[in-house]
Structure 1
Amino acid sequence: MSSPSPRPSAPRLSTARALLRLLEFARPVLPRLALGAVTALGAALMALMIPIALEWVVGGPIASGETTAVVWGALAVLGLGLAEALMVYLRRWLVVAPATYVEYDLRRTFYARLQHLPVAFHDRWQSGQLLSRMMQDIGLIRRWLAFGLILLVVNVLTVVIGAVLLFQWHWALAAVFVASGIPMWIQGFLFEREYGTLTRLSQDQQGDLATSVEESVHGIRVLKAFGRGPHALRRFTGQAQTLRDTEMRKAGAIARIEFWLVFMQEFAFAVSLIMGIWLASLGRIGVDQLFAYFAMVTILRWPIESIGFLFAFMMDARTATDRIFEVFDAQNTITDPERPVEIAEPRGALAFEGVHFRYQDAGSAEPDLLNGIDLEVRPGETMALVGLTGSGKTTLTTLPTRLYDVTGGRVTIDGVDVRDLRLVDLRRIIATAFEDATLFSASVRDNVLLGRDDLDPRSPEADRVLREALDVAQAAFVDDLPDGADTLIGEEGLSLSGGQRQRLALARAVAARPAVIVMDDPLSALDVDTEERVQAELRRVLAGTTALIVAHRPSTVALADRVALLEGGRITAVGTHAELMARSAHYRSVISSFEREVEQEEAWRNDRSPFDDPGPTADLDVIAGEKDEEAAR
């Protein structure tokens, strides 16, 4: 299971400063958002004018008994209501489309940022956390911009304007209303501190929960095979219960501020009613004024009550913004150089010069995983890289394409430090085929031609490159798929066998036509017969291509012109297979371990004990000797 994603350690910005970071995305649509706010304020002003109209109706036509004037007063109130409804419609029409544009821009930028950040970033972050930020948090920001922000600003202004209007009827009644707001502001301050912490915790827990779902779905075969479904369910249930508890605490915080908002209004209403009747009995306020006062207070009820959930909405949006910008602010250490070098015609000379490497989270007391690698792969040469498990072979293959950067020394291509090349140019020169073949939910054609953005996927040239790559990888099974090369394969290619996925990944590397190809045991999932045919094709294809191949099988070593032995983070020997067998005891031990693994695979394939006499095996020395003789000729 993935480790938790990093939690924020930087000082927390104020809510206003945090939300202002959205301005760079909202700036193109600010005019329409501002017009939406104006129309929302206009709707509020129409509502606030209704009590003034009612005061005129009660104090004039109703008091005098003028029926016709009452009708005109009713029509005036109706007109104000219709104008308010029109303003509400305009507000929605003005803000919905701009908010979706901001959502689109945020989502596109977020995805681009994920593609741009180095592999080391993705090693530290749970995929579920990134997914929840991409979908849930950005969607929440869109809803807040279109609804929460405008209504919060307008409702606060409505309350302020309404409170000022109350003073035209009687200062004492208005003072009661204003004084009732003091406890609400105090509770609002306390609410921000508590709810801000809870909403951050909740959104992080939702990301963790998404990660658990994703891991369980991707690992469903393992869970079923080992009968660990109930264990995964218990783990998920515990996480879901923790999230529920946090959501209940959030609901409690909202309930408390809502209590104060409603209670203080009712308290002010009751006090105002008693005081108003007393003032009316003394003749200090008219019935029409008292009626208008309570009509105004009634209209202000919803703006006041809404401030609670709108404030909570703002805190949710602020937390979502923090989580989005944690990714935007992540440092990218693998970037294009300021003054890139171009290699017009790559020859494919790959060299490691004094290379050191350690992962970023490795302790300072730990030795470097790669500790002074010196290795030269000549143009057109196939170099096999062998070593025991944990010696750093796979890590070494990630350095030429700058999936990780060296922490010391340098990697060069044709004498140029790979850090002096643009990433897009570097990754056209060097292609990689991984042991763990990753395919995408797309057609076979799109997967194989992934590295050929210079080709139209439907062009005759693309068809030729596709067919040649599939032939090299011995992927004739593609022709038997329902739609051939246009067949859509499932998520991560799990609808295919391991060997089929590996062959398509190998075809993808071949189709890229690189000057250098780096392969991390690309044939491990193939049977012996298929592997032999693939090797024969690779010998032909790699004749002019520089290749660095991590080998875990004797047959893969046989494909190479030379072999490099990796031991303790260093290259301890380089030479042909025959030379290393003659002079390196450690190399003989490594090769023996390869042969034992092959014998065990054959034993299991033939359904017999791996401890039985395996019989004759392929003579690797003979194959290597033939290659040496051919090279000498």
Structure 2
Amino acid sequence: MPPPTEDQTAVPVPAPRKRSAVRSLLRLWPYVRPVRARLFTAAFIAVVASCLSLVIPLVLKWMVDGPVADRDPAGVGWGALAVLLLGVAEALLFGLRRWLVARPLAGVEAALRADLFRRIQRLPMAFHDRWASGQLLSRGTTDLSLLRMFLAFPLTFLFVNGVTVLAGFVVLLAQDWMLGLVLLVPVVPLVVVCSLFETRYSAVARRAQDQVGDLTTVVEESVLGIRVVKGFGRHRSQELAFRARAERLRGTELGKARLLAWIWAVITIVPELAIGAALVLGTVQVADGTLSAGTLVAFLSTALALRWPVESIGFLLAMSQEAATATERYFEVMDRTEEDPGPSASVSAGGTGEGGVRFEGVEFRYPDAPDDAPPVLAGIDLHIRPGETMALVGATGSGKTTLTALVPRLHEITAGRILLDGEDITAMPRERLRALVSVAFEEPTLFSASAGENVLMGAAGAGEPELRRALAVAQAGFVDDLPEGAATQVGEQGLSLSGGQRQRLALARAVVGRPRFLVLDDPLSALDVHTEALVEAALREVLRDTTALVVAHRPSTVQLADRVALLSGGRIAAVGTHQELLRGSAEYAWLMSGARDERGAVGDGIG
């Protein structure tokens, strides 16, 4: 894999809508609403704790102008005790605030993650065909962590620090209005600087989070495809691809760091200059006798107490911008339209016409295909009679897999209709449709579960008897030889098993529920000759009780079918028995002769 160029992206992420950070973050309100009482309580407690720090300068003023000036040690001791108690109370209140928000915010994050996972599971296949899984993973992990941190810290302290700064300036102006105005001078330039920072940081933060998704995709693909990487010695190219994306992310993160350093420097230096000016002016006033020493001490102590609320604005704004972009990325997925579940289970469309599976004028084109592109499938008319097995044959790229995916509505047809026992599949609830139709794909997908759990996933409520029958049909007796039998964990993607073993488990999953309709996409491609013969013999028993559509690439698989449909150029070119098509279709005869050459003696008795 060559290193990516600067403009490459692993997923066509839609351009984010232009909305302010506040409007983006307000979309989280439905998740925050159930815990708003504790969050508001925690914010109030934090305000009280923060404002206690403003009382300490007033105590110092009393101490300097009173006990210190009067040389009263007892008064100084009482003042020191008051300062200590105020500090302890502030610490306890901040600890209470943290305790109040910890549990509800963990619940908010869990709810966000659960809704995201639920939405991903219900989005159509067209969505998953276009989006890289690494982008989805980064939204469910990194982005949600950013949102939890925002709700725990910046959301509260942007408000708390704002209230503290306002209260502090009231105290400053009350002590000496002239010195207070000196400290107010930097407010206007700071507002302008923060506005510029917010705009620039938002763009950089979005770019960084998208690049995290790209990097996650490379890591995930390299781990899942580790056999290919090692088998072809491509670890170096994968390393280069990872390094290129990591360098891009590093550059973006350094850009974020530069922006943070710049805003931090400005927010720190400007108030410090104002405090320095106030110190000089206040010292002159004390020397002139127009200002008491205690007032100057209290004024400077209050100004210093406001340093943290002011200086924290920079990184609080940065965290808020990152949370806003994380919110946008989260809702980019949540705003996608789910698959239509169809009418409720209590509604029946009423079967009409002939039984079995019927395709009537079916057309399909991918949703993102150009308007002038020809459809993948066009004018498909095909009838599979009840209890019949129809083999679907065609050259590579003719649309066989796409056609089989239309029956369980993994993709939605563009025109025409598909009937199961006379009932339009679009009028069925998806749950009922997928209970009627069972599928086995050419590329078997197994989950990080036991072998038995992977098989029983094919039928709700199936138990040990159904599991044993399905394993027998799929000639998957190897399961009993695994260390823990059917309870053996097969690992991620079933990589601990061979290709043929994975395919047999996937086939067992397809037949475990005794489906009424069965769709098999070349389910025997990874089997050796002898195992294939055994599986075919067992499948014949299963196919007697179901209506099946089987994608076939070999004459031996065609033998399972009652009739054969030839798919050519996205259309049904011919339908008939194997012998009829051999005699009447040159294309079919050519396809079968190639398959026979590949399999040698397996096809010798077919022509």
For Structure 1 versus Structure 2, the TM-score category normalised by the shorter chain is: over 0.9
Pairs within 5 Å for 1:167-178: 167-178=173-184
Partner secondary structure for residue 98 of structure 1:
helix
- Which residue number in structure 1 is paired with residue 277 of structure 2? 271
- Which residue number in structure 2 is paired with residue 539 of structure 1? 540
- The Cα shift of 1:454 comes to 2.5
How many positions carry a matched residue from both structures? Answer: 600
- The Cα shift of 1:187 comes to 0.8
- Which residue number in structure 1 is paired with residue 59 of structure 2? 53
Whole-angstrom distance in 2 between the partners of 1:164 and 1:313? 28
Deviations 1:123-176 (A, max 9, x none): 110100000000110111011101121112111211111111100111111111
Instruction: Report whether the alignment pairs 1:440 with 2:426.
Output: no
Instruction: Report whether the alignment pairs 1:503 with 2:509.
Output: no
Instruction: Report whether the alignment pairs 1:377 with 2:384.
Output: yes
Aligned counterpart for 1:210 among listed residues 216, 221, 236: 216
Are the structure 2 counterparts of residues 525 and 390 from structure 1 closer, same or farther at C-alpha, using a change threshold of 3 Å? same
Partner secondary structure for residue 398 of structure 1:
helix
Partner secondary structure for residue 153 of structure 2:
helix
- The Cα shift of 1:331 comes to 2.5
Whole-angstrom distance in 2 between the partners of 1:238 and 1:9? 23
Asked if the contact 2:439–2:518 (Cα under 8 Å) also holds between the matched residues in 1, the reply is yes
Whole-angstrom distance in 2 between the partners of 1:325 and 1:464? 44
- The Cα shift of 1:113 comes to 0.3
- The Cα shift of 1:472 comes to 0.2
Question: TM-score, length-normalised on structure 1?
Answer: 0.92
Instruction: Report whether the alignment pairs 1:255 with 2:261.
Output: yes
Pairs within 5 Å for 1:322-361: 322-337=328-343, 341-342=347-348, 349-361=356-368
- Aligned partner letter, 1:394: T
Aligned counterpart for 1:398 among listed residues 379, 388, 405: 405
- The Cα shift of 1:9 comes to 2.9
- The Cα shift of 1:533 comes to 0.8
Whole-angstrom distance in 2 between the partners of 1:3 and 1:464? 49
- Which residue number in structure 2 is paired with residue 200 of structure 1? 206
Pairs within 5 Å for 1:90-489: 90-337=96-343, 341-342=347-348, 349-455=356-462, 462-489=463-490
- The Cα shift of 1:253 comes to 0.5
Whole-angstrom distance in 1 between the partners of 2:79 and 2:204? 50
Whole-angstrom distance in 1 between the partners of 2:598 and 2:264? 68
Which segment drifts farther, 337-346 or 92-101? Answer: 337-346
Partner secondary structure for residue 174 of structure 2:
coil
Partner secondary structure for residue 620 of structure 1:
coil
Partner secondary structure for residue 267 of structure 1:
helix
- The Cα shift of 1:8 comes to 2.9
- The Cα shift of 1:343 comes to 7.7
- Which residue number in structure 1 is paired with residue 519 of structure 2? 518
Are the structure 2 counterparts of residues 470 and 243 from structure 1 closer, same or farther at C-alpha, using a change threshold of 3 Å? same
Asked if the contact 2:357–2:386 (Cα under 8 Å) also holds between the matched residues in 1, the reply is yes
Partner secondary structure for residue 160 of structure 2:
helix
- The Cα shift of 1:337 comes to 3.6
- Aligned partner letter, 1:585: A
- Which residue number in structure 1 is paired with residue 5 of structure 2? none
- Aligned partner letter, 1:316: E
Partner secondary structure for residue 167 of structure 1:
helix
Which segment drifts farther, 435-444 or 183-192? Answer: 183-192
- Aligned partner letter, 1:469: A
Root-mean-square deviation (CA, aligned residues, Å) is 1.7
Aligned counterpart for 2:93 among listed residues 87, 91, 95: 87
- Which residue number in structure 2 is paired with residue 23 of structure 1? 29
- The Cα shift of 1:221 comes to 1.5
- Which residue number in structure 2 is paired with residue 592 of structure 1? 593
Whole-angstrom distance in 2 between the partners of 1:233 and 1:504? 34
Deviations 1:401-425 (A, max 9, x none): 1100001111111111111111111
Whole-angstrom distance in 2 between the partners of 1:616 and 1:302? 81
- The Cα shift of 1:10 comes to 5.2
Asked if the contact 1:348–1:546 (Cα under 8 Å) also holds between the matched residues in 2, the reply is no
Asked if the contact 1:348–1:545 (Cα under 8 Å) also holds between the matched residues in 2, the reply is no
Deviations 1:523-545 (A, max 9, x none): 00001111111111111111110
Structure 2 unaligned spans of 5+: 2-7
Whole-angstrom distance in 2 between the partners of 1:132 and 1:616? 48
Deviations 1:429-460 (A, max 9, x none): 001100000000001111000022234xxxxx
Whole-angstrom distance in 2 between the partners of 1:329 and 1:274? 57
- The Cα shift of 1:428 comes to 0.2
- The Cα shift of 1:73 comes to 1.2
Whole-angstrom distance in 2 between the partners of 1:157 and 1:222? 59
Deviations 1:277-325 (A, max 9, x none): 1122222211100000011011111111111111100001001000000
Instruction: Report whether the alignment pairs 1:72 with 2:58.
Output: no
Give percent identity, aligned residues only: 50
Partner secondary structure for residue 589 of structure 2:
helix
- Which residue number in structure 1 is paired with residue 552 of structure 2? 551
Question: TM-score, length-normalised on structure 2?
Answer: 0.96
Asked if the contact 2:458–2:511 (Cα under 8 Å) also holds between the matched residues in 1, the reply is no
Partner secondary structure for residue 33 of structure 1:
helix
Deviations 1:540-578 (A, max 9, x none): 111110110000111010000110010111111111111
Asked if the contact 2:345–2:432 (Cα under 8 Å) also holds between the matched residues in 1, the reply is no
- The Cα shift of 1:340 comes to 6.9
- The Cα shift of 1:487 comes to 0.5
Deviations 1:105-130 (A, max 9, x none): 00000000000000110111010000
Partner secondary structure for residue 520 of structure 2:
strand
- The Cα shift of 1:336 comes to 2.2
- The Cα shift of 1:510 comes to 0.4
Partner secondary structure for residue 64 of structure 1:
coil
Asked if the contact 1:156–1:307 (Cα under 8 Å) also holds between the matched residues in 2, the reply is no
Asked if the contact 1:195–1:315 (Cα under 8 Å) also holds between the matched residues in 2, the reply is yes
Partner secondary structure for residue 490 of structure 2:
coil
Whole-angstrom distance in 1 between the partners of 2:586 and 2:49? 87
Are the structure 2 counterparts of residues 505 and 64 from structure 1 closer, same or farther at C-alpha, using a change threshold of 3 Å? same
Partner secondary structure for residue 390 of structure 2:
strand
